[in-house]
Structures are given as structure tokens and as C-alpha cells.
Structure 1
Amino acid sequence: MTTPWPQAVLFDLDGTLVDSAPDIQTALNATLASYGEPPFELEQVTAMIGRGVPTLIERAYAALGKEIDPATRDKVVERFEAIYGPQSTQRTVLNAGAVEGILALQQRGWRLGVVTNKAAAATETVLAHFGLADHMAIVVGGDAGPERKPAPGLLLLAAEKLGLAPSDIVFVGDSDNDVIAAEAAGMTAIVMRGGYSTRPVEDLGADLIADRLDALPSLIEGLARARQDGPSGEA
């Protein structure tokens, strides 16, 4: 008997499951203010999100027209994380259809998880706040060891921890980092509209595009049927 596909559905966090940009903006601006730097607007900060806090800080300083050495960056990262942690869910909201989508995916027997460039502790805090932590079989944060997305290491680590082949996993994200990482890991990639991508989602090369998280169950079932029936054009 063939094993049903997929065996698991993994999610990016920021821009995919939640809109966390407002809290990230607040923490970034408070961090910069402590160093005498001016604040950024929400749209500017949103465009900086995607490769973890060290890159966020580097992008912020680049936007200020200033260089930052690795040692100083790491100190700024520490301050950001100290500020962000206690207020990481004050303005963050779930994206449309998140709870319904996750419950429906789980009811179909697919294991769920989160793989994000955000640190694991901050990720767990956000998931717990929205009541999603208990639905996740695995959480892999950007501090797990492997290089952050768009490198495939975090996704491959998640597959290893789940005891699954990457080809048996669907990864849902919102940016080119997510699609590149999924493809490099050998996973099917679904990209969400309305996330933090700085490019049109149609240009990212994902296997499918989803408008809402509660649309995922039917989209994935369609992919599964297409795989079962063999190559027959686009799903």
C-alpha cells in the first residue's frame, strides 16, 4: 500500500501564520532609539523582515547609511531580543484562516510544524499566545544550528526530527527565502499572498499560491490527487 502524501505540512511564521511586523517595528525602533537612531515606518520594517534578527539589524543600519561590524551588530541583536520578547504579541495578529486551516490540516492526519528564522523561544511564545503550540509536532527556530533560510538546513533538520523524507513534506511560506529553501530541501513549496515578500508571489516559483490559510487543505489535496494520477499539467 502506498503511503499517503504528504506526511507533514510545515509553516514559516512571520508573514505566513502571523502578521508580526507591527511588534517587530516597535522593538526595532525602541532598539534604535536607545542608540540615538531615528525610527522606521512599518512598511520599511516589513521589507527588512525575512532572514532573522541579525539580518534585520544589518538592513536597518544599511537603510540609515551606516556600517555595522559583526560584534556591534550582535550587541544590537541582544538588545532587540530583550525588548522584543516581552511585547512580541501586543500588536501581532493571526493571518486570515490560520486556526481553521491548521485544524482542518490536522484533522486530515498530517503532522504540522513551524520552521522559521526567528529564534525558537520567541516562536514558541507567539504560538502559545494564539493557542497553536499544541497543534505543532515540531518547531525549528533560526537558532537551531543550521544556516537560516534560504539555505535548506533548517527544513532538512525538521524532516530529520520528524523521521520523514523531505519529499513527503509541504512547506508553506510567504517569501523567496521560503521557496528557495523548500526547493533546495526537496519539499513542495506553497507561497501565501499578503506576506512580506518584496517581489510578486507569482514570480517566486512556488508549486502553488494560496490566498488564505484555510484554503490549504483543499489545495494540498488537489496536489495529492495530481501526484497520484501522474503528470497531467498544472494542478
Structure 2
Amino acid sequence: MTDRDLEGWTIAFDLDGTLVDSAPDLIGTLNRLLVEEGLAPVAMEEAQKLIGSGARALLVHGFEAAGASVERAKSDELFQRFLTDYSAHIADGSQPFEGVVETLERLTERGALLVVATNKRSDLSELLLQKLDLARHFAAIVGPDRVSARKPSGAHLKEAVAQAGGDPERAIMVGDAAPDAGAARDAGMPCILTTFGYTPVPVETLGGDVLIDAFEDVEEAIDGILSDFYVLKALRG
């Protein structure tokens, strides 16, 4: 029988670049729009660094990378075209990173409450996770439209954890980029960062408490953080 030693703890996960390798479909939509606008597509390897702050930011960065007008990238009409195309192709090539399903199942068996805290719109996040059969693992899926402030504000994490029924004082963030690290720091939460995500700057510079090279390492990282937590708690009496 599995020891439910994570009872009372909430693990908050970023989505793109943490749970799911969603770059193929995000960049696919971006490149289709660029071509429709008479611009050259951006290379997948370079464009991955543009992901993480939401669709509008991806459009702006993508048009910048193509040497095009940023004002055009900010237009509502282009944004709606992006959403329409992306919704139709949201899981064509996107896949969970290796070890995601097994790790989420083990964390749940150990009593942890799981929540997604992402800068991706909630409806798109739910659609992607449903198509990949991942939504069932999470007590809540919380995009920026369901909180008072988006990452890197700590309010995003605190409110996401609360919406899932958890305690923000007993929560850990797992992400891949600066918005995740910044939000965790602002919320006073420990932060685990992946080295396989989409950050445009070296992940080592972001101030995460633990860096992991594979999703299978999430569980061990959580155990290390909780070990330190309970040692400090014992020392404080």
C-alpha cells in the first residue's frame, strides 16, 4: 500500500515546456500566420525560446524574429486567427514529456493535490490536456483569465492552489522558465525547474531551488524539498 506522505501538499505545474512539449503546434500556428502575412517562418529550435508568456507575446516575438511590424502582431484580428488555427491543431504534434503520466499518478497515490498554473488561456489549456488525456490528473487548470494576476506574480500560484482546494503555504511550483521562477519566489513557494523547457535564458540563472533534467526526477526533487521543510520545522520547535 502506498504511503500517503504527500497528503496536505499541492504541486503546481506549468504547462508548456513542463508537462507538455507543445512547441510543434504553437510554432506551427505561428509559422502558418507568418506565411499568410508574406513573411518567412521561424526555425523551430529558435522559436521554442519564444514560448511561455502566452499567445499574444508569442505573436509579438515571432513577428520580431521575422523582422516584421510589432504593431501588426498586436492586432486583435491576428490574435483571433492565431486562436482559431491553434485550437484546430492544438494536439497534432504536442505530447507529454516522457515520464509525465507515471509521475502524476505516483504523486496522486501519495496524496498530493495537483494543479496546473499556466499563462496559457484556461480554455486552451483544458482542450490540450483533455486531448492528451492529462486533465483527469488535476484538481484545477488555471490560466491567467481565472486569477487576479498572471505569472510572474505570485498571486497566480496562490489563487490556483486555492482554487484546487490546497494550501498555498504547503505548495511547490514545477516550471521551466522565468515566469514560473518569479511567481514561485513572489509566492514564497519552493520551485523546481526543468532543464528541457523553453526558457530563452539559461535555466541555471533563474533561481530555482532544484533543477531536473527529466520529468521522472520531479518526485525525488519534491522529496528533497519536503525533507528540508520538516528538518527546519523541527529545529524551530
Q: Same fold by TM-score, threshold 0.5 exceeded?
A: yes
Structure 1 residue matching 2:198: 3-state secondary structure = coil
CA–CA distance in structure 1, aligned partners of residues 81 and 45 of structure 2: 22
1:32 deviates by 1.8
Relative to structure 1, the CA distance from residue 49 to residue 117 in structure 2 (aligned partners, 3 Å threshold; closer, same or farther) is same
Q: What is the CA-CA distance between 1:5 and the residue it aligns to? A: 7.2
Q: Which of residues 107, 113, 116 is equivalent to 1:114?
A: 116
| Identical residues among aligned pairs (%) | 34
Three-state SS of the structure 2 residue aligned to 1:209 is strand
Query: What letter matches 2:35 in structure 1?
Result: A
- Give the TM-score taking structure 1 as reference length: 0.90
Instruction: Tell me the CA shift for residue 151 of structure 1.
Output: 2.3
After TM superposition, list the pairs within 5 Å mapping 1:54-73 onto structure 2: 54-69=56-71, 72-73=74-75
Greater CA drift, 130-139 or 162-171:
162-171
> Does residue 31 in structure 1 map to residue 15 in structure 2?
no
Give the letter aligned to residue 201 of structure 2: R
TM-score normalised by length of structure 2: 0.89
Query: In the alignment, which residue of structure 1 is the partner of 2:222?
Result: 220
Q: Which amino acid aligns with 2:140?
A: I
The amino acid of 2:47's aligned partner reads: V
User: Which whole-Å CA distance do the structure 1 matches of 2:6 and 2:62 have between them?
Assistant: 45
CA contact (8 A) 1:191 1:208 kept: yes
How do 1:8-87 and structure 2 match up within 5 A?
8-69=10-71, 72-87=74-89
Q: Which amino acid aligns with 2:232?
A: G
**1:169-184 maps to which residues of 2 (within 5 A)?**
169-184=171-186
Shift of 1:69: 3.1
Deviation at 1:122, TM superposition (A): 1.4
CA distance in 2, matches of 1:205, 1:90: 34
Give the match's secondary structure for 1:112: strand
Shift of 1:94: 1.2
* Residue range with higher mean Cα deviation, 117-126 or 64-73: 64-73
Instruction: Give, in angstroms, the shift of residue 50 of structure 1.
Output: 1.1
Give me the CA root mean square deviation. Answer: 2.2
Please tell me whether the aligned partners of residues 58 and 73 of structure 1 are also in contact (alpha carbons under 8 angstroms): no
Shift of 1:44: 2.2
CA separation of 1:198 and 1:68: change in aligned 2, threshold 3 A = closer
Q: CA deviation at 1:71?
A: 8.8
Aligned twin of 1:167: 169
Report how far residue 9 of structure 1 moved.
Answer: 0.3
Q: Residue 199 of structure 1 aligns with which residue?
A: 201
The match for 2:135 is 133
Task: Return the alpha-carbon distance in structure 2 between the equivalents of residues 18 and 175 of structure 1.
Answer: 14
Counterpart-to-counterpart distance in 2, 1:131 and 1:71: 32
Q: What is the CA–CA distance in structure 1 between the aligned matches of 2:63 and 2:36, rounded to whole Å?
A: 14
How far did residue 231 of structure 1 move? 8.2
- Deviation at residue 215 of structure 1 after TM alignment: 1.9
CA separation of 1:72/1:205 partners in 2, compared to 1, >3 Å: closer, same or farther?
closer
Change over 3 Å in CA distance of 1:171–1:186 after alignment to 2: same
How many residue pairs get aligned? The number is 230
Letter in 1 for 2:121: A
Q: Helix, strand or coil for the counterpart of 2:144?
A: coil
Unaligned runs of 5+ in 1: none
Residue 119 of structure 1 and its aligned partner are, at CA, apart by 1.1
In 2, Cα distance between equivalents of 1:4 and 1:143: 29
Structure 2 unaligned regions, length at least 5: none
Query: For the residues of structure 1 that align with 2:90 and 2:84, how far apart are their CA atoms?
Result: 10
